Amino acid sequence: MSPEWLTAIGTLGTFVVIAASAAAALFQLRHMRGSNQIVALTECRETLESPEFGEAQNFVSFELPKRLNDPAERAKISQIPFPGEYKQIGTVANFFESMGMFVKKGIIDQELACDFWCWSVVRNWTALAPVITYVRQKIGVPALWENFEYMAVLSDDYLRAHPGGNFPASKRRMPQDNSLMDLIGNRNDA
């Protein structure tokens, strides 16, 4: 075998080794991204399921809209930073701000985040929209909580695209159990 052939074979072998190394590196990067996403998803889920955050969400989603109708309560909300229990506004908005940033930067997959949390995001955004608009104007920062807004837009679009949920159309559904509905209905009739 001539020296030119040996050089060509050696060059081809080097190319194969480099290509295989590059493919392995890409696979490893993809695996690392998946691991990072699992960590971020787990942290989001744990926060959303924590008692403290549950209280903050309940306040924001159900109590705050009622209080916005009361002039004395609106005066409290107009104080920046938020006083007392109104600090829960920041807790909720800041959490969804972080979630929106993770989605926007690709740390958490948009489809996964929306499938998990679209209802919660839209419910909290809707409750906080008047407060967010007020605070943005009062402090002159229109970008305040923009990643939360981004997550709300994605979630709203997701809900519009899946009005009946996202259950695979090709799969059968489990039968409904109306026994509790019947029992509650019977109690209300009595």
Q: Looking at the domain assignment, is residue 1 inside a domain?
A: no
pLDDT at 40: 87
d(CA 66, CA 70) in angstroms, rounded, equals: 8
Q: Looking at the domain assignment, is residue 88 inside a domain?
A: yes
pLDDT, tens digit (0-9, with 9 covering 90-100), for 50-105: 999 999 999 999 999 999 999 999 988 888 889 999 999 999 999 999 999 999 99
d(CA 116, CA 164) in angstroms, rounded, equals: 15
Contact 60, 92 (CB under 8 A): yes
Q: Looking at the domain assignment, is residue 7 inside a domain?
A: no
Q: Looking at the domain assignment, is residue 121 inside a domain?
A: yes
pLDDT band at residue 187 using 50, 70 and 90 as cut-offs: low
Cα angle: 31, vertex 34, 39; to 5 degrees: 130
pLDDT, tens digit (0-9, with 9 covering 90-100), for 118-171: 999 999 999 999 999 999 999 999 999 999 999 999 999 999 999 988 899 899
pLDDT at 39: 87
> If you average pLDDT over residues 16-24, what whole number do you get?
65
Q: Which residue blocks in the chain are alpha helix, DSSP H? A: 3-49, 51-58, 64-67, 71-77, 87-104, 110-139, 146-161, 179-189
pLDDT at 27: 59
Q: Looking at the domain assignment, is residue 120 inside a domain?
A: yes
DSSP per residue over 48-72, as a string?
HHSHHHHHHHHIIIIIHHHHTTSHH
Q: Looking at the domain assignment, is residue 3 inside a domain?
A: no
When divided into structural domains, the chain yields a total of 1
Q: Looking at the domain assignment, is residue 188 inside a domain?
A: no
Q: Looking at the domain assignment, is residue 174 inside a domain?
A: no
Domain that holds residue 139: 16-163
pLDDT band at residue 190 using 50, 70 and 90 as cut-offs: very low
